[in-house]
């Protein structure tokens, strides 16, 4: 395995004892992303190695975390070892907040949705997982959110079988042409108001499939309320994102 991928994978690894991890541990973890320190000379080697097309270095270093595959290739490519692993946001509410620039802050707030959107959930979060042409990696992570380790139901969150019962559409995949009609029907079937979450790089920007027969993410087809970066985002990051977006971070 490549050194950069190994490093980023090991640092994002989850292996703790059951029962379900404690609330402080859940909140203390973070996804890690590459970000340059002051020694970056804008040589552009990392951008050339970035398969996600996430990094540009025209004048200054810039990365779109909404395109980042968390592969670590850029870290390997940087001869001056300027790229460090720093905390990535679990989620953002605005697409523009996924853009990171060298020399600026890599921190993002944990803003909650506005009151009208937060009221959508009532006393529980009913989630419909929507596959918009995903490779299935995000669905594996969504399945794990309900297992005994992550146990999202302790927070009042659950997966529902029908979009008619959903408060939240948790969408993964680049929105392929073949899934567009099914996607539109699911969106129409889910009652309003609803909260739309773009889970993972494909739903945000098309990811590796952006140049295929896809819509390059769901942004152009529906208004997105919450963006969760990652490829795929791990179960704990998605749970933290939903808790943060709904202002439930102090809740068991």
Task: Determine which residue in the list 12, 29, 72, 245 makes contact with ligand SF4, applying CB under 6 A.
Answer: 72
| 63: contact with ligand SF4 by CB under 6 A | yes
Contacts of 29 (CB under 8 A, 6+ apart): 14, 236, 237, 240
- Residue 52 or 217: the one with the smaller Cβ distance to ligand SF4 is 52
- Asked whether position 68 contacts ligand SF4 by CB under 6 A, the answer is yes
Q: Name which of 45, 54, 65, 59 is nearest 106 in CA terms.
A: 65
Q: Tell me, residue by residue from 9 to 48, as one string, x for binding to ligand SF4 by CB under 6 A and - for no binding.
A: -------------------------x-x---xxxxxxx--
In sequence order, what DSSP letters do the residues of 63-105 get, joined into one string? EETTT-----HHHHH-TT--EEEEEPPS-BSSGGGGEEETTS-
Q: Which is nearer to ligand SF4, 95 or 118 (CB)?
A: 95
Q: Which of 12, 82, 126, 205 binds ligand SF4 (CB under 6 A)?
A: 82
CB 94, min distance to ligand SF4, A: 20
**83 forms part of the interface with ligand SF4 (CB under 6 A):** yes
Q: Which one of 54-62, 88-96, 178-186, 209-217 is the stretch in contact with ligand SF4 (CB under 6 A)?
A: 54-62
The DSSP string of 98-127 is: GEEETTS------PPPPHHHHGGGTTSEEE
- Separation CA 105–CA 113 (nearest Å): 22
């Amino acid at each position: 395995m490549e050194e950069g991928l190994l490093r980023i994978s090991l640092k994002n690894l989850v292996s703790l004892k059951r029962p379900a991890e404690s609330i402080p541990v859940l909140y203390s973890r973070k996804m890690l992303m590459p970000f340059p320190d002051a020694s970056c000379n804008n040589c552009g080697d990392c951008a050339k190695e970035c398969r996600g097309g996430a990094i540009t270095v025209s004048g200054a270093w810039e990365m779109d975390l909404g395109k980042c595959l968390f592969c670590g290739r850029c870290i390997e490519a940087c001869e001056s070892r300027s790229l460090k692993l720093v905390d990535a946001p679990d989620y953002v509410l605005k697409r523009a907040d996924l853009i990171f620039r060298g020399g600026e802050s890599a921190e993002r707030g944990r803003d909650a949705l506005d009151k009208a959107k937060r009221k959508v959930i009532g006393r529980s979060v009913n989630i419909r997982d929507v596959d918009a042409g995903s490779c299935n990696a995000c669905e594996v992570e969504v399945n794990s959110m309900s297992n005994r380790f992550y146990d999202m139901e302790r927070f009042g969150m659950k997966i529902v079988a029908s979009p008619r019962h959903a408060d939240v559409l948790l969408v993964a995949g680049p929105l392929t042409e073949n899934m567009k009609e099914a996607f539109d029907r699911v969106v129409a079937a889910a009652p309003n108001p609803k909260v739309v979450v773009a889970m993972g790089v494909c739903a945000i920007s098309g990811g590796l499939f952006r140049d295929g027969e896809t819509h390059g993410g769901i942004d152009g087809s529906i208004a997105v309320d919450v963006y969760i970066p990652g490829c795929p985002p791990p179960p704990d990051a998605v749970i933290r994102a939903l808790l943060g977006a709904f202002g439930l971070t102090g809740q068991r």
